[in-house]
Every structure is written in C-alpha cells, then in structure tokens.
Amino acid sequence: MTTNPTLADLAHRVAEGRDRPAYGHDALITCDRLVRIFSMDGIEVQALQGLDLLVREGELMALVGASGSGKSTLMNILAGLDTPTAGAARVAGRDLLAMTAKDRLAYRRHVVGFVWQQTSRNLLPYLTAAQNTALPMRLAGGRSRGARRAHGERALELLELLNVADCRDRRPHQMSGGQQQRVAITVALANNPAVLLADEPTGELDSHTAEQVFAAFRTANERLGTTIVIVTHDQAVADEVRRTVAIRDGRTSTEVLRRHQVDATTGHETVVAREYAMLDRAGRLQLPADYTEALGMRDRVALELEPDHIGIWPDDSEQG
Ligand code: ADP
Ligand code: MG
C-alpha cells in the first residue's frame, strides 16, 4: 500500500527540483520555447510562439492540429530546411540554430529523413524505385563498384521490408499513390537516419491505402528502431500511436497517451487513452478550451496544492 506524501515531503521535493537536470537532456528531439516569425510585406506572422516538445529515442508519435497551427513550420525546422527565430532546437545532439551550411547538408543527409504529403515531391520521376532509394546512399559517398553493389542491395532490402519490392523497376508514374509513399519511406530511410519526419504523408490517400502506408512507418519504427514523427489530419492514424501531441496557435497544447491494458480476469485487452496538458518550465499550464469553457473559467482560477494533486476551481473571489 502506498501512502500519500505529507506537505513536508512536498516541500522537500520543491527544494530538490531546483537542481534537476536540463530540460530534455535525455530526449532525441528537444524543442525549447521555439519561435518562428515570418515577415511578409511588413506583416509578421508568429507561426511558432514558444513551442516545447520532447521526443524520446525509439518513439513513434503523431502531431495533430488545425490548419495553420504551425505543424509544417515545425517540421521544416526539424528537417533542417528552415531556422527558428528564437528558442532552442536539438536533434540527436545537433543544435539546429548553430549549424553551418555544411553541417546542415550533413544533417539532412545522415540524421533526418523526410516524407512529404505530395507524392511528387518525394521521388524523382525519371528514376525507378530501386534507383530512387539508392540515390541518397550514392550522394552520401562511395562510388566504387563495391559501394554501388552494397547500395543496390540495401535499397532492395528496404523495398522488401516495406512490401514494395515488386515496384523496384517501376518509375513513380507506374506506381499507385500508396506504393509511391512507401517507396518514399525507403528513400528517407536509405542512410539510416536517427529520425524520420513525415508531414501529412497520407493526406492524398484514401483510408485503406493510408492504413498500408502507416503500417510501413510502424514497420520502420519496430524493425529499424527509427524514431518517427508524423503530422496527420487522420484521426485513425493518430489513434494508432501511443502518443499524440496537439499543436494549437504555434504551441503544444495537449497530449494524449494510449496504453494497452489487459483485464486480469478475462484477459481482454483494451486501449486506455488519457489526456494530458503540457507544463512548461515556468510552470505554465495550458488548459483545453473546452474544459475551461465548461466551467466558465477565464482570467483567474482558484488553486490549491493537495498531497497528490493540484485543484483548480473557477474564480470564487467575487462571490459570498
Ligand atoms: P500547418 O502546417 O499547421 O497548417 P504552417 O506551419 O504551414 O501550418 O503555417 C503556420 C502559419 O505560418 C500560418 O499562418 C501560415 O500562413 C504561416 N506561414 C507558414 N509558412 C510561411 C511563410 N513561408 N511565409 C509566411 N507565412 C508563413
Ligand atoms: Mg502543414
């Protein structure tokens, strides 16, 4: 049996927290108060407004959010194609704000792989699936005959792993949209990146085909251990990952974690989903709008520290 901590225990914990390790020190991807401002014709758009995100090595997670919430802006930064205005972003030990042009090229070639929504943006039209997949390996080095043979073999292995080996000698226009996206994943995986980023990779596909493409991401995650971040509008995809982070107005807002729970008596397995709010280092908490609206909370709330939780109530100072 566990007992609830006393207030003295809590005070002790508060004191301990002062020397806790740096934010995201053990994460593969760390975004810390990330800001991206676009200026166009004198008008500023704050696409990211202090976004915090941690992704651990080996995760397969989804990012969701309304159109214009900043998802693609974040993906372009993580892909090394765009630089933040302020804040910090680290991926696999690289500081994305401090990379030289040369670092950036090496980063895009070896550390991250990406898959975009438009199938046409992912593959070169005049190359076959096998040639498309081998291309990043050729660009990364090794032009000898032995190296080329190794590239060809690895390309085939990847195509087989993602169930598109039958497309090896086909050019993109000879493949279905779903096959093209699965080949796009093999291209992204060619140089064995630590992170695979995908921005609405199933956005142009019907739900059955989207399911197959999502299965390919899962295979890459499980068999190759690649950490994967998928931006999606598709609730079915979001439901299949353990963790879904919602972005709202350029900031991470809520997070849903799903875990499998097995009933001890029946052995029946269910998925339990629980919603979490993000707590930033300054202690700021963003409550979901539907929660605060349901209780009429705005501007100020009443707060109480309890041994095992914090209570939040509508502002009662005007009453009684
Ligand atoms: P999402 O992918 O979630 O739909 P985006 O990241 O594409 O959102 O866009 C976030 C906001 O930033 C939008 O208001 C969009 O208009 C703006 N934005 C994105 N890219 C640019 C750009 N290159 N120049 C100006 N504004 C941009
Ligand atoms: Mg987008």
Q: What is the pLDDT of residues 195-234, one digit of tens each?
A: 999 999 998 889 899 999 999 999 999 999 999 999 998 8
Q: Which domain holds residue 210?
A: 7-286
Q: Is residue 205 part of a domain?
A: yes
- Per-residue confidence at 319, pLDDT binned at 50, 70, 90? low
Q: Which atom of ligand 1 is nearest to the CA of 74?
A: 6
For residue 132, pLDDT over 90 is answered with yes
Say if residue 187 is in the same domain as residue 306: no
Residue 180 lies in a domain: yes
Residues 46 and 179 both lie in one domain: yes
Whether 310 and 229 share a structural domain: no
* 135 and 282 together in one domain: yes
Q: Does the residue 46 lie in any domain? A: yes
- 47 Cα: distance to centroid of ligand 1 (angstroms): 6
Could you tell me the distance, in angstroms and rounded to a whole number, from the CA of residue 38 to the centre of ligand 1?
8
More confident residue, 260 or 243: 243
- Rounded to an integer, the average pLDDT of 171-182 is 96
> And the tokens for 298?
């705005």
Q: How far apart are CA 82 and CA 194, in angstroms?
A: 19
CA of 14 to the centre of ligand 2 (A): 40
Ligand 2 centroid to Cα of residue 147, in Å, is: 37
Residues 216 and 234 in one domain: yes
| Total tally of structural domains belonging to the chain | 2
Same domain, 299 and 179: no
Residues 253 and 148 in one domain: yes
pLDDT of residue 72: 96
- CA separation (Å) from 48 to 33, 35, 176, 198, 257? 9, 5, 35, 18, 23
Tokens linked to 161: 């792993």
Same domain, residue pair 187 and 102: yes
Query: Measuring from each residue's beta carbon to the nearest atom of ligand 1, which residues come in under 6 Å?
Result: 38, 40, 45, 47, 65, 67-73
Q: For residue 1, is it within any domain?
A: no
Residue nearest to atom 24 of ligand 1 (CA): 38
Identify whether residues 237 and 299 lie together within a single domain: no
Whether residues 265 and 299 fall in one domain: no
35-70 pLDDT, tens digit per residue, is 999 998 889 999 999 999 999 999 999 999 999 999
Q: Is 212 helix (H, G, I), strand (E, B) or coil?
A: helix
pTM over 0.85: yes
Question: Which ranges of 68-124 does DSSP label H, i.e. alpha helix?
Answer: 71-78, 101-106, 119-122
Inside any domain, residue 2: no
Q: In this structure, are 169 and 316 located in the same domain?
A: no
124 within some domain: yes
CATH number for the domain including 66? 3.40.50.300
144 and 197 in a single domain? The answer is yes
Residue nearest to atom 6 of ligand 1 (CA): 70
Q: How far is the CA of 42 from the centre of ligand 1 (A)?
A: 16
Does the residue 127 lie in any domain?
A: yes
- The residue whose CA is least distant from atom 21 of ligand 1 is 38
